């Protein structure tokens, strides 16, 4: 019994870190930078609530537009393949965009009047909200391709790795990528707990100082990703120097160190599709036509689908069908709507969750997500994506019940029975504890599948196009979230800071039906999709 337990512990916890290689570190640093970007999430929530009179539906629409840069992973991924030796410049560009976004938010809090003379506070917030994802998508595209390259294809003696071993290594690489990302969230959750200590008793101006300091500290985010790229360049330079010292010719050193396994030819379908996406988005975005978001989404989906069709011609037919089926399952799973900002407003206003407690929830969620990913890694390496999605869908449906219960006052009943122990804060912690690993775990099998099956000369392109398709699911989720928030209208109290008069009263009367509807759709959509895909020619067993 002890031996089997030791073997399980070794296989689950030890092996994942034993397989860690120095080559994994640069992309992991870029992922870690994306993780610590969460340092501004809680600040942003309270800034919007306290300073801006934006509705939940508008914020859902802004999430839609902010998510569109991720669709540009298609041309960006192909660009990375074409300029692989100079990919560091793209990471530096992304860092500059992220720094600009953070700088705007810092100035907006500390120098509000000066910023207002140029643009409205709401307009500045929108600009900042669009710049940050543009920077992160550029960096993420490079990091994704680097994870494919980081996994070896042969043993040290030159013999090819077995398929099972390759799958395990790719699963480990993608798991470590998620661990780096969630590790960043753990770090910032701890930082937020310290920064928000006692903030609920501060005056509004003192709160603003705390918010501004957090945005100022967040400028370390682009420094981390840039450091990862500098480390990568240093490692490549050291490898090149070693080869030259061994007598390898300069041209051969250049090919072995700085060039991909095979030369990449420009695919004008991908660049044309990317250009069409940009033109469509800008033309619709700056116009005032009805259903602008829906038109952009449908156009983007059409462009992405054409590019996927062109891409899958480069892989065997059986793998192409499995890939399409896998992508459809993940797409629908990720496209499930969310409650939107109204649920967080309810927690703040009615359940009295303050900044520090939300930081505690974030810390718990991040830590348990790390543990969950490590625990479930053997399952992800051995089970099909369809199986995992069904499992996660059922789990997420069950775990949504405590959140619904909090709206209907279950905490009042449980607190009476337990002498005040099981109150709203306790239920929120338990719900967060159980639900936290689900979102990140869902993406690891797909990332692993893409990494394993990407052609050597199109690693970034193949990865980016399929990732763009699944990222479009988040855009669909934002649209569905907006529709539901238009049907079930939730408002928080908005006051004029100058006169302290109420401009918009709080109304959470429809939040219960919103939460129930979101849960039902989130369970039924993925289950029906898995059923249909697995009964078609697109079924996947990988």
Structural domain spans, the chain: 21-236, 267-309, 315-541
Q: Which pLDDT tens digit goes with each residue over 236-274?
A: 788 778 777 777 777 777 766 666 555 667 777 777 777
Confidence at residue 434, expressed as pLDDT on a 0 to 100 scale:
44
Confidence at residue 496, expressed as pLDDT on a 0 to 100 scale:
67
Characterize 360-375 residue by residue with b for buried, 16 or more Cβ atoms within 10 angstroms of its Cβ, and e for exposed: bbbbbbbbbbbebbbe
Same CATH topology for 21-236 and 315-541: the answer is yes
pTM over 0.85: no
- H helix runs in 37-118, sequence order: 41-51, 56-67, 73-82, 87-110, 112-116
Confidence at residue 271, expressed as pLDDT on a 0 to 100 scale:
76
Confidence at residue 521, expressed as pLDDT on a 0 to 100 scale:
95
Q: Which pLDDT tens digit goes with each residue over 421-470?
A: 677 776 676 555 444 445 556 666 666 666 666 665 666 667 777 777 77
Q: Which two tokens stand for residue 121?
A: 């506070």
Confidence at residue 527, expressed as pLDDT on a 0 to 100 scale:
95
Q: Which fold has domain 315-541?
A: Growth Hormone; Chain: A; (1.20.1250)
CA dist 416 and 443 (Å) reads 40
Which phi-psi region, left, alpha or beta, contains residue 301 (left: φ > 0; alpha: ψ -120 to 50)? alpha
- Phi/psi of residue 108, nearest 5 degrees: -65, -35
Q: Domain 21-236 class?
A: mainly alpha
Is 372:385 a contact under the CB 8 Å cutoff?
no
Confidence at residue 480, expressed as pLDDT on a 0 to 100 scale:
92
The DSSP bridge pattern shows strands 502-504 and 494-495 to be antiparallel
Characterize 226-259 residue by residue with b for buried, 16 or more Cβ atoms within 10 angstroms of its Cβ, and e for exposed: bbbbeebeeeeeeebeebeeeebeeeebeeebee
CA dist 334 and 409 (Å) reads 29
Spans of the chain below 50 pLDDT:
1, 158, 433-437
Helix (H, G, I), strand (E, B) or coil at 326: helix
């Amino acid at each position: 019994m002890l031996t089997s337990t030791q073997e399980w512990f070794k296989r689950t916890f030890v092996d994942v870190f034993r397989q860690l290689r120095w080559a994994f570190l640069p992309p992991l640093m870029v992922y870690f930078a994306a993780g610590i970007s969460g340092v501004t999430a809680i600040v942003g929530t309270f800034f919007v609530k306290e300073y801006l009179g934006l509705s939940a539906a508008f914020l859902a629409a802004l999430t839609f537009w902010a998510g569109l840069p991720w669709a540009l992973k298609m041309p960006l991924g192909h660009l990375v393949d074409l300029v692989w030796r100079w990919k560091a410049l793209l990471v530096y560009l992304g860092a500059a965009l992220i720094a600009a976004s953070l700088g705007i938010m810092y100035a907006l809090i500390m120098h509000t009047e000066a910023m207002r003379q140029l643009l409205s506070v709401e307009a500045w917030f929108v600009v900042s909200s669009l710049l940050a994802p543009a920077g992160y998508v550029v960096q993420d595209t490079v990091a994704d391709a680097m994870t494919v390259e980081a996994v070896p294809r042969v043993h040290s003696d030159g013999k090819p790795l077995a398929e099972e071993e390759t799958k395990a290594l790719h699963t480990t690489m993608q798991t470590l990528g998620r661990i780096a990302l969630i590790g960043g969230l753990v770090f910032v959750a701890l930082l937020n707990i310290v920064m928000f200590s006692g903030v609920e008793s501060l005056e509004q101006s003192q709160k603003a100082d705390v918010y501004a300091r957090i945005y100022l500290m967040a400028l370390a985010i682009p420094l981390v990703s840039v450091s990862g790229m500098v480390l990568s360049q240093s490692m490549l330079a050291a490898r090149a120097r070693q080869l030259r010292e061994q007598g390898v010719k300069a041209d051969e050193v250049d090919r072995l160190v700085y060039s991909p396994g095979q030369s990449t030819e420009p695919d004008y379908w991908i660049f044309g599709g990317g250009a069409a996406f940009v033109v469509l988005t800008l033309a619709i975005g700056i116009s005032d036509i009805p259903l602008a978001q829906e038109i952009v989404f449908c156009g983007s989906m059409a462009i992405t689908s054409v590019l996927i069709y062109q891409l899958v011609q480069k892989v065997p037919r059986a793998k192409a069908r499995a890939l399409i089926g896998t992508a459809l399952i993940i797409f629908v799973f990720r496209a499930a709507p969310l409650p939107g900002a109204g649920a967080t407003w309810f927690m703040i206003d009615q359940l009295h969750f303050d900044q520090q407690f939300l930081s505690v929830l974030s810390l718990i969620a991040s830590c348990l997500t790390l543990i969950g990913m490590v625990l479930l890694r053997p399952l992800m390496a051995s089970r099909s994506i369809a199986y995992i999605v069904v499992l996660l869908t059922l789990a997420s449906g069950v775990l949504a019940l405590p959140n619904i219960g909090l709206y209907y006052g279950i905490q009042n009943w449980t607190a009476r029975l337990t002498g005040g122990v099981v109150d709203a804060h306790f239920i929120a912690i338990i719900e967060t504890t159980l639900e936290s690993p689900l979102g990140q775990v869902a993406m690891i099998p797909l990332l692993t599948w893409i990494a394993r099956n990407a052609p050597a000369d199109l690693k970034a392109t193949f990865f980016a196009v399929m990732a763009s398709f699944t990222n479009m699911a988040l855009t669909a989720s934002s649209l569905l979230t907006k529709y539901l928030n238009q049907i079930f209208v939730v408002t928080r109290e908005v006051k004029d800071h100058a006169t302290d008069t109420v401009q918009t009263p709080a109304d959470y009367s429809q939040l219960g039906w919103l939460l129930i509807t979101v849960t039902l759709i989130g369970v039924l959509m993925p289950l029906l999709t898995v059923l249909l895909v697995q009964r078609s020619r697109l079924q996947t067993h990988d």
